[in-house]
Each structure stands twice: as C-alpha cells, then as structure tokens.
Amino acid sequence: QAARLAADHSAELRRYRPVDLVREFDRSLHREMDFTHEARHAAQIAANMAALDWLVIPKVYTEWSSDGLCVQEFIDGIPARQVDRLDAAGCNRRLLARRGALAAWKMVLEDGLFHADPHPGNFLILPGDRIAMLDFGMVGRLTRARQEQLVQLTRAVVMRESDACAAVLAVWSDGIRPDTEALAADIDDIISRYYDMALADINATALMLDVTALLRNHDLTVPPDIALLIKAIITLDGFGRVMDPGFDVMSEAEPLLQRMVRRRYSPSRLAKSLGLRALGFVDRLYAPPQPGEGARTDHGVDARLLEHLADRFERLGYRLVQTGITLAGLVTGGLLLAGKVPPSWHGVSVAGGVIFTGGLALAMVGLAEGL
C-alpha cells in the first residue's frame, strides 16, 4: 500500500517503480527461504563454471536437503575478509581479485545466471589461490535479449554512438517516449568523461551511479534484473578492492566483452539472424490479425498510455468532488452547530450534527481510499 501511495503521489519515487521493487523483494525473500532454489542455483552455476579449475562451488547433497535445509560440502578455507591471514598464508591477493572478477563477469556476460551478492563474506580462499564461492540464495538472471542489449550498449559506447545508446535505453522507458535528443546529449557527456581514460582507471561504482542518475533524470525505469546487476557490480568492486586496493573490476570484463562483440557480429551469426527474420516475416504474412494490433492512435500515441492518463484524471476528478463535498459538509455543519440552529436536541443543532457527521464520514472514507 505504501508503494502504491508513493507511486501515485510522487513523480520522483515513481521513477524507481516502487510497486515492482516491493514485488521483486517479496519474490526474492521467498526464493531465499526455499533452499531448493539455492541448491539448483549452486548446481547450475557449478556446471557453467566447470572450466575454471581454480573456482570451487560446494557440492549440495540433494538426498539430505529440502526446502528448509540445504546440506552442502564442507569447505575449509580463509575468509576473504581476513586479509592478514591471507598475507600470512602467502596468497596472491592481486590474482585473487582478478579471478573473482573473471568468474563474476563470466556469469553475467556469458551464462546469464550470476551471483547477486558477491561480497567478501561469500568467498573462501583455498591453497593455490583457489576461490570457493558460497551462498547462492540470491542470484540474478539475464535473458538473451538483455545480454544482447548490454552488448549493443558496449559497442555504442566504444564507437561513441550516443544515439545508439539512447535507442537501447529507450527500451527501458516503460512505454513513455523520452526526449531522445536530450538523452543522447547526456549520454555523450558521460561517454566523453570516461572515453579517454584507461579501463583500469575507471571507477566502476562511480560509472554505475552516473548511469543510474541518467536513467532517473530521463524517467527511464531501471529493470529489476539490471538493478540487481548494478548492485552486484558495485559489491564485486568492493571485494576486489579488499583483495587489491588498486583493482578495477571493469578491466577484467574487457576480454569477455570483446569475445561477445565478435560473436555477435560474426558472419555465421548474421546469416542465422537474417534467416530467422525472413521466416518471421513470412509467418506474419500468413498469421491472422492479432487483437492487440492497432494499439496506437492515428497520431502515433500509445493507446495504453492514453487509457492510463484518462484513468488518473478520472480518479483525480472524483477525489476533487469528494473533497469539495466533504469540506462543505464540515464547514456547514460546524456553522450550524456553532449557531445552535434549530431544531436542536439538548442544546445541539440536529441538522448541524447530521451534516457535520456526514462530512466527517466522507473524510474518513476518502482517507481510507487514499491509503
């Protein structure tokens, strides 16, 4: 109820989609309370990361586990927070930081299933500078379409194509068309600030906060999976700096990003995409008209947006009328009571009491509907 109230009455809070955030928080809590989800996440991530022989994912014993109990392999290692013990054991902290970032970026950019809370407490350091990753209760998922958007954004930033960046971000506008020229100008400003910097000199946290501010200023909603990704990157940056104060999480993403860009624009991928688009075009020719077609007006305005605005104006008009009647009842009833206008009962104006009570009841009803 509080989230709906915030969305209805605050344009600033509405940008954060509070109702969707509460729903996502609810789903996340229920997933974390069901240990069968954690067991599946651990098994899937272990399979995805099998090629990294220095990364250890604890085995889950499913035959002894349930929704309320997760039995895992015991891992004996040094918590990543205990830097003094790592130094005493002769661990290479710079290598550990790079390996942790490499594992995280592989999950995000290649697998689409990533650890959403990679803080130092969820890492144990093993002999040979190996890393054990723990606690898969909170994970994030990126669809193939979302990964494609991230690759397009990366290419556009590298090529300094602000318009292309704006086109991708506009997809996150939740049906509201942003001012693309102003958006592209602000994107170009951010790119200019970071473009001439070496990748190792870029502060990942500052960059993510700049991007978040950009989305907020242009009323672009942050999808829940992207919000979780931003949070994971900032958390991972903190882990890397515990291991190596000069570490930069972005530098470890460069090889994977280059590999994804090459894969996206390879001739075989292009031929396959053209073939699928041709088949899709033929299917649309033979498909019957869909009920949702023609959802835009003749002037190119989204009909769903018009319906939403009309509903909001209707609710606003109803509340204004209700407020006017309420105030009239309270003021009129108060005057009749103060003047003791007859007929009266025990010195109290009957008409004034009835009218004032009715106004008070309307006020309570309006308050209840607002909440």
More confident residue, 263 or 304: 263
Is residue 117 flagged as an active site residue? Answer: yes
Confidence band, pLDDT 50/70/90 cuts, at residue 369: low
Report how far residue 59's alpha carbon sits from residue 69's, in angstroms, rounded to the nearest whole number. Answer: 14
Give me the residue label for tokens 């990679």: 118
Confidence band, pLDDT 50/70/90 cuts, at residue 244: confident
Q: What angle do CA 1, 219, 250 make, to 5 degrees?
A: 105
pLDDT score at 204: 62
pLDDT more than 90, % of the chain: 15
More confident residue, 85 or 284: 85
More confident residue, 50 or 147: 50
Q: Is the pLDDT of residue 51 over 70?
A: yes
Confidence band, pLDDT 50/70/90 cuts, at residue 258: low
pLDDT digits (tens, 9 = 90+) for 160-201: 778 888 887 777 766 667 777 888 888 888 877 766 665 556
Q: Is the pLDDT of residue 269 over 90?
A: no
Handedness of CA 235, 240, 243, 245 (dihedral sign): negative
pLDDT digits (tens, 9 = 90+) for 75-88: 999 999 899 999 99
pLDDT score at 296: 47
Tell me the pLDDT of the chain averaged across its residues: 77
- Please tell me which residue in 20, 34, 111, 117 is annotated as part of the active site: 117
pLDDT, average across residues 305-316:
63
Give yes or no for a contact between 70 and 38, defined as CB atoms under 8 angstroms apart. yes
Paired tokens of 169:
């971000």
**Verdict on whether the full-model pTM lies above 0.85:** no
pLDDT score at 297: 47
The residue type of 90 is G
C-beta atoms surrounding 350 within 10 Å:
15
Report how far residue 246's alpha carbon sits from residue 236's, in angstroms, rounded to the nearest whole number. Answer: 14
Give me the residue label for tokens 């054991």: 89
pLDDT, average across residues 99-127:
88
Paired tokens of 163:
């318009």
pLDDT score at 90: 93
Q: What letters, b where the CB count within 10 A reaches 16 and e where it falls short, cover 26-46?
A: eebeebeebbbbbbebbeebb
More confident residue, 93 or 271: 93
pLDDT score at 314: 65
Least confident of 104-118, 166-180, 281-295, 345-359: 281-295
pLDDT, average across residues 259-283:
59
Q: Is the pLDDT of residue 154 over 80?
A: no
pLDDT, average across residues 132-142:
89
